[in-house]
Amino acid sequence: MAQRPTAEVDVTPDLVRTLLAEQHPDLADEPLRVVTCGWDNVMVRLGKALAVRVPRRAAAADLVLHEQRWLPLLAGRLPVPVPVPLRVGHPAAGYPWSWSVVPWLDGRPAVAVSPTGRAGLAVPLARTVAALHVPAPADAPANPVRGVPLAHRDTAVRERLAAGSGPWADRARALWDRCLAVPPWAGAPVWLHGDLHPANLLLADDGSLAAVLDFGDLTAGDPATDLATAWLTFDTDGRRVFSDRVTELTGTDVDTWTRARGWALCMASAMLAHSDDDPAFAALGREAMAQVLAG
């Protein structure tokens, strides 16, 4: 079975309540409910207005620290709400890592609707990306699998595609070769969300962008990493609106868009390779790969 990474700590409401009681006792009596369990973190809703974001494996421990340090500084420049940590938690009660109390942001997960239904995200997401993609400081978090030259992901992508079968795999390998042939990013490293796909976007009631979630992969590097969302999130029409608006705002060139398509292929192949136990992500992987191959 090709499954998402295994949890190294069982994050339960009882564990979260114990942590809160020791470190933030004024919150410890609020109702708790697990709402999502991702590859890296468990999100536990805390009352009506808050949530607790708790790493489930060691690989996510530093990512929460990055959010705690940098997201308060970046949030003010972004045109949409983001889950800025309001309180910080520390290792305790046998739990080994830091964790955060964040605001609960209302909205419908974009992954729950079709690419056509995400059309209203195109312009506000383009504005958000443009606002985020500014030169980052030298001490911005490093990330070995985001923001790096596309060639750094070559071995992983080829291994995933080798496990595929049928015409789509051959087409994906040919496309991957074309994307790798494009020159790497030569500009200054810019701030990146790092994981900009529909499961990390919330829709407002009117279909616009309500919030951007999960900055755990926050890093700096090639903006093409985030621009992969053109294929991960949208259909052909939505992708055209998004890409036109981003290009208008930032002057993004053709090579960067080609690398972005390669990043979308990389991320879609990862979803397909590790989601046998996660139907929503498996469906997103299939949908994203179809968009990548469509152009």
Q: Would you list the domain boundaries of the chain?
A: 13-103, 108-294
CATH level 3 topology of 13-103: Phosphorylase Kinase; domain 1 (3.30.200)
Question: CATH for 108-294?
Answer: 3.90.1200.10
Per-residue pLDDT, 198: 97
pLDDT at 2 over 70: no
Over residues 106-121, the mean pLDDT reads 96
Cβ-based neighbours of 45, under 8 Å, separated by 6 or more? 31, 32, 33, 34, 35, 51, 104
Per-residue pLDDT, 1: 37
Percent with pLDDT over 70 in the chain:
97
Q: Give pLDDT tens digits for 147-194.
A: 999 999 999 999 999 987 667 889 999 999 999 999 999 999 999 999
pLDDT at 295 over 90: no
By C-alpha distance, which of 237, 227, 238, 140 is closest to 189? 140
Q: Are 217 and 63 in contact (CB under 8 A)?
A: yes
**Single pTM value for the model:** 0.95
